[in-house]
Structure 1
Amino acid sequence: MPDWSYQTIFRPLLFRIPARAARGFTLQAMGRLSRIPGGTFIIKTLGHVEPSPLLQRNFAGILLPTPVGLSGAIDKEGIAVKAISQFGFGFVEIGPITSSPIKSDSPIRIDPASESILYPCEYENLGAEAALHRIRHPKHRLPQFVRVAAASPEAGPNEAAVELQSLAERFMAEPNVSALIIEAMNTYRDDSKSAKLLLEQMSSHLVENASITEKKPLLLYIPLDMPDSVLKEIAQAADPAVWSGFVIGDSIRTADGAVLTGHDGRQACMTKLQTIRAYASGSPVLFASAGVHEPADALTLIAAGADYLLLHSGLVYAGPGLPKRVNEAILYDRLARGEPPPTPSFWTHWGWMCLLGVSMMLGGVIAWLIAASSVLLPYDESFLDMARSQVAAINGNLLHFMSHDRITLAGTMLSIGILYYQLARHGLRYGLHWAKTTIWVSCGVGFPSFFLYLGYGFLDPLHAAAAILLLPMFLLAMRRNPDRPNHKPVNLHNSKVWRRGLWGQLCFIVVGASLCIGGIVIAYVGITDVFVPQDIGYLCTTRDALDLANSRLVPLIAHDRAGFGGALLSDAIGILIVALWGLQQGARWQWWTLLWSGSPGFIAGLSVHFAIGYTDFVHLLPAYFVLVVYIAGLILLYPYLMLKERDC
């Protein structure tokens, strides 16, 4: 459920049903997907969230792939953690965990206007036993940070300390627990005396049991609505020899005992970060979990002193792509402070792909001119043992029909050439992983498709020569080009332009997927039946009649169809991957690439049908549909791709 489907389709539907039911449905759906064979691969493919190695952090000897963590409030039962862990998170929080299960059936309420969530029960969880089972059998490879809490409001500091000590000892003994978060201050957030007493008792116990503190880092949980006067005393009293850092919560208690979390908590979180930095001893590590709903929020909290982030309500309102966007923003913010690396010379690798693209464009133009004039080449006539005039005599529409296949192929070649040239110049040149993957997969389909027609006994020498010429260019282009991080500005805000851009992204994903299906169908028809009913209707003949006229006519037509289907599939895969992974705000070249690479295919495919009178509505309906979606995608993406954020 990436952002392009969440924001456009699923969120509007989910927000119309009760929040608890919507949460259950979403988690169950993602959990089931992650459990099927290949499910996690599908999630990764849709989102392309593999984080850059430059984002890795070392926290107390724990290697975190990214500084962004998943809040335990998102999936308290661990139903979909295997799926969610693929979104670009660096660690997973489990909790709050209490000794006994705490259940609630009261409705969860959301307020889209303020982007907030109201939970009726602060400590709803399955209890320590269920949490231990989940921790011992993780469905992911991310570090697990466990948050334990003493939930009884009637308990005094002594009773709360005993309960927390028991939980701490229990979970610290677990090998799969990377760090422990102690939620000790919630009950006494307004009572500095009791809060300090509880902190002293916890610290004393942990010091006495040095084996606990030596095994795992301990983090002290700070309620978001703790008064600053109390926080100052707690920060000063926290022993840095015991506490590795602080986790600032994201919830504010209401008068009726519920808790509210949302975007508005960011300002309070910033204040807490600054207070701790000012009054705490040593250099504590700070985790911020309030109000990160867009990448700009993450950068603001980091600037205020946060070392790590936890995402909660932002995932609900921004979508599952938020971790990836935050990671990209953090990485860009870091890279923007230094000098970008020098770009490699033209002949190092990317220039060869530019030449391949230019060659495809030149081949497409030549193929179009031939298909619009003589149609048949000398080796075609030699294969048929017939001159062009003799072929025309068999059926008045036959040459037109062959021309229509070859012109559509020529338009597709132009589209591929433009796409490859642009990907090489703006993506491969800078070592962008998604651009390299696009070329790898597209060419991996395109080169073998040249030979789909060999089963009919016809070897097209021109196609074979093209493959022999272009393959070395492809191999030279993909050599010695390691992945490099993106140095271009990234999207920071959940603006209207961003939301409209997601609709445009969805349109191009539909275009790419539809063309993939079309390419597969055309290639399959080309190597099997060769003709569809509308083709036979246009020709006013049958396949058997063509076989009787010349037994090599159908193989020649099949060669054109299979070649066009393979080329269309190669082109479609390129468009689809660009739409899935590559679109970035302000990347003007991407909009022009989508326009320039798409136009030749549509112009060739539709113009030739009308030129030869092959205008069957059913036959052209898929092309009409894809054209409408393509134009809509260009319109919707224009502000996102053509304007930088500061211009919006």
Structure 2
Amino acid sequence: MYKLLLRPLFFSFDPEKIHHFTFSLIKITSKIPGFTNIFRSLYVIDDKRLERNLFGLTFKNPVGLAAGFDKNAVLYNELANFGFGFIEIGTVTPKAQAGNPKKRLFRLKDDQGIINRMGFNNEGLEAAISQLKNNKGKLIIGGNIGKNTQTKPEDYTRDYLECFNALHSYVDYFVLNVSCPNVGSHAKLNDKEYLEELIGAVQQANNNFEKQKPILLKIAPDLNNNQLDEIIELVATTKLDGVIASNTSTDRTDLKASTEQLEAIGNGGLSGQPIKDKSTRVIKYLADKSNKAFPIIGVGGIHSAEDALEKINAGADLLQIYTGFIYEGPSLIKAINKAILKES
């Protein structure tokens, strides 16, 4: 029904406007008596064989929702009814910020992709915490954290620490988002020495809590092998809990979209089917070269059960979807979980 009726309707409107409309629609329908049970009966698979134990956490199934969809943690309880095993909220920054000027979200229909330059638009730390206090405990929640756009380079770590300390009681794991191409002063966030400093500072803060939370790093799909070797070394040196591979790409090669269309869109991060092979390559390289020394969450271009299994076979322990969820609808989650069960 989604691909036949809803998607053509949704895709006839501006992507960002329909995103907010869809949120309202899910909120409203979830409040109608019986609808939550309908959603769960359609999409949720409860099977112990799908459980994954990583970072000291038990995931009901390995299919999660990537950061960027529920930035302000307003819909995670309702989204749990679509069959996800975990949901990552954010990216959250200390202060609320509007992000980049609109229009900043674009569909590449022929490529089954999306280009965005949202710029960490979110309502800020306090708003996220207010929403997370309503957590009904249906599934694991990840907190994706970043810096404010206007923050000076010498204060980047302070921003991450502020988010980390404030969210610590409300999320199950953390992701340091240092690879988004849509925020200013991006270069320092990719510097290995700075990453060691940032991770060390966050881990020190983590040790101040009675119960430590897992900390992961989200990396770009455009890294070359030398850069990936540095990531492997970084994880080993800092004892990070894992890596998310990968974020959006700045590469525009081999797209079906015309040069004119891409020029009209401008810069931004590319997600969806066009980055499927890139992210899988990164996953496989990290897994093989490190001899599976750390867990990997695979994300990027998962639009089918086959795409998901490809990521798992490459070395991913968990999966996340975003663009595939928009193009394929919630049935994708069930299809992936069914395929995993069939393989088990």
Tell me the TM-score range normalised by the shorter chain: 0.7 to 0.9
Q: Which structure's CA Rg is the greater one? A: 1
Which residue is equivalent to 1:149? Answer: 146
Give 1:103 deviation, angstroms: 2.0
Give 1:188 deviation, angstroms: 10
Moved more, 128-137 or 212-221: 212-221
Which residue is equivalent to 2:113? Answer: 116
Amino acid corresponding to residue 218 of structure 1 in structure 2: I
Q: Give the strand-richer structure, 1 or 2.
A: 2
Give 1:291 deviation, angstroms: 0.6
Selected match of 1:37 from 33, 50, 57 = 33
Secondary structure at the residue paired with 1:215?
Answer: coil
Q: For residues 74 and 149 of structure 1, what CA distance do their matches in structure 2 show?
A: 15
| CA deviations over 1:421-448 (Å, ceiling 9, x no partner) | xxxxxxxxxxxxxxxxxxxxxxxxxxxx
Amino acid corresponding to residue 269 of structure 2 in structure 1: V
Selected match of 1:184 from 175, 178, 188 = 178
Secondary structure at the residue paired with 1:274?
Answer: helix
| CA deviations over 1:120-174 (Å, ceiling 9, x no partner) | 3131222111111122222551111101012438743x432232122222222x1
The answer to whether structure 1 residue 223 and structure 2 residue 220 are counterparts is: yes
Alignment of 1:326-337 (within 5 A): 326-334=336-344
The answer to whether structure 1 residue 70 and structure 2 residue 65 are counterparts is: yes
Which residue is equivalent to 1:493? Answer: none
Amino acid corresponding to residue 68 of structure 2 in structure 1: A
The answer to whether structure 1 residue 11 and structure 2 residue 7 are counterparts is: yes
Tell me if structure 1 keeps the 8 A contact 2:66–2:321.
yes
| CA deviations over 1:231-255 (Å, ceiling 9, x no partner) | 3212212246631100123312479
Tell me if structure 1 keeps the 8 A contact 2:298–2:311.
yes
Q: For residues 196 and 26 of structure 2, what CA distance do their matches in structure 1 show?
A: 43
Give 1:310 deviation, angstroms: 0.6
Runs ≥4 residues deviating over 6 A: 187-190
Give 1:193 deviation, angstroms: 9.8
Alignment of 1:434-453 (within 5 A): none
Q: For residues 17 and 149 of structure 2, what CA distance do their matches in structure 1 show?
A: 27
Alignment of 1:430-469 (within 5 A): none
Q: Give the helix-richer structure, 1 or 2.
A: 1
The answer to whether structure 1 residue 264 and structure 2 residue 274 are counterparts is: yes
The answer to whether structure 1 residue 165 and structure 2 residue 154 are counterparts is: no
Tell me if structure 2 keeps the 8 A contact 1:184–1:198.
no
Give 1:56 deviation, angstroms: 0.8
Q: For residues 28 and 224 of structure 1, what CA distance do their matches in structure 2 show?
A: 32
Give 1:279 deviation, angstroms: 4.4
Alignment of 1:178-217 (within 5 A): 178-186=172-180, 195-209=191-205, 210-212=207-209, 215-217=212-214
Amino acid corresponding to residue 172 of structure 2 in structure 1: S
Amino acid corresponding to residue 11 of structure 1 in structure 2: R
| CA deviations over 1:494-522 (Å, ceiling 9, x no partner) | xxxxxxxxxxxxxxxxxxxxxxxxxxxxx
> Structure 1 residues 168, 78: CA separation in 2 closer, same or farther (over 3 Å shift)?
closer
Q: For residues 190 and 229 of structure 1, what CA distance do their matches in structure 2 show?
A: 19
Amino acid corresponding to residue 314 of structure 2 in structure 1: A
Tell me if structure 2 keeps the 8 A contact 1:31–1:82.
no
Which residue is equivalent to 2:56? Answer: 61
Q: For residues 173 and 189 of structure 2, what CA distance do their matches in structure 1 show?
A: 27
Tell me if structure 1 keeps the 8 A contact 2:145–2:175.
yes
Secondary structure at the residue paired with 1:275?
Answer: helix
Amino acid corresponding to residue 20 of structure 1 in structure 2: E
Give 1:214 deviation, angstroms: 5.2
> Structure 1 residues 237, 82: CA separation in 2 closer, same or farther (over 3 Å shift)?
closer
Secondary structure at the residue paired with 2:29?
Answer: helix
| CA deviations over 1:288-347 (Å, ceiling 9, x no partner) | 11110011000001111100001100011111111000001111112xxxxxxxxxxxxx
Q: For residues 108 and 223 of structure 2, what CA distance do their matches in structure 1 show?
A: 24
Amino acid corresponding to residue 212 of structure 2 in structure 1: K
> Structure 1 residues 17, 121: CA separation in 2 closer, same or farther (over 3 Å shift)?
same
Amino acid corresponding to residue 59 of structure 1 in structure 2: L
Secondary structure at the residue paired with 1:220?
Answer: strand
Secondary structure at the residue paired with 2:216?
Answer: strand
Tell me if structure 1 keeps the 8 A contact 2:49–2:341.
yes
> Structure 1 residues 178, 228: CA separation in 2 closer, same or farther (over 3 Å shift)?
same
Tell me if structure 2 keeps the 8 A contact 1:49–1:324.
yes
Amino acid corresponding to residue 25 of structure 1 in structure 2: F
Give 1:264 deviation, angstroms: 1.3
> Structure 1 residues 29, 280: CA separation in 2 closer, same or farther (over 3 Å shift)?
same
Selected match of 2:132 from 132, 135, 149 = 135
Amino acid corresponding to residue 319 of structure 2 in structure 1: L
Tell me if structure 2 keeps the 8 A contact 1:164–1:184.
no
Runs (5+) with no aligned partner, structure 1: 335-648
Amino acid corresponding to residue 43 of structure 1 in structure 2: F
Which residue is equivalent to 1:303? Answer: 313
Secondary structure at the residue paired with 2:68?
Answer: coil
Which residue is equivalent to 2:332? Answer: 322
Secondary structure at the residue paired with 1:109?
Answer: strand
Q: For residues 332 and 314 of structure 1, what CA distance do their matches in structure 2 show?
A: 21
Q: For residues 222 and 5 of structure 2, what CA distance do their matches in structure 1 show?
A: 35
| CA deviations over 1:263-293 (Å, ceiling 9, x no partner) | 1111111121123224448721100111100
> Structure 1 residues 151, 262: CA separation in 2 closer, same or farther (over 3 Å shift)?
farther
> Structure 1 residues 240, 68: CA separation in 2 closer, same or farther (over 3 Å shift)?
farther
Moved more, 227-236 or 85-94: 227-236
Give 1:53 deviation, angstroms: 1.7
Q: For residues 327 and 156 of structure 2, what CA distance do their matches in structure 1 show?
A: 35
Q: For residues 276 and 240 of structure 1, what CA distance do their matches in structure 2 show?
A: 15
Tell me if structure 1 keeps the 8 A contact 2:72–2:123.
yes
Tell me if structure 1 keeps the 8 A contact 2:73–2:90.
no
Tell me if structure 2 keeps the 8 A contact 1:28–1:80.
no
> Structure 1 residues 165, 149: CA separation in 2 closer, same or farther (over 3 Å shift)?
same
Secondary structure at the residue paired with 1:205?
Answer: helix
Which residue is equivalent to 2:97? Answer: 102
Which residue is equivalent to 1:22? Answer: 18
> Structure 1 residues 258, 191: CA separation in 2 closer, same or farther (over 3 Å shift)?
closer
Q: For residues 212 and 51 of structure 1, what CA distance do their matches in structure 2 show?
A: 33
Which residue is equivalent to 2:259? Answer: none
Secondary structure at the residue paired with 1:113?
Answer: helix
Which residue is equivalent to 2:257? Answer: none
> Structure 1 residues 199, 32: CA separation in 2 closer, same or farther (over 3 Å shift)?
same
Across the aligned residues of Structure 1 and Structure 2, the Cα RMSD in angstroms comes to 2.7
The one of the two structures with greater contact order (alpha-carbon pairs below 8 A, sep at least 6) is: 2
Which residue is equivalent to 2:254? Answer: none
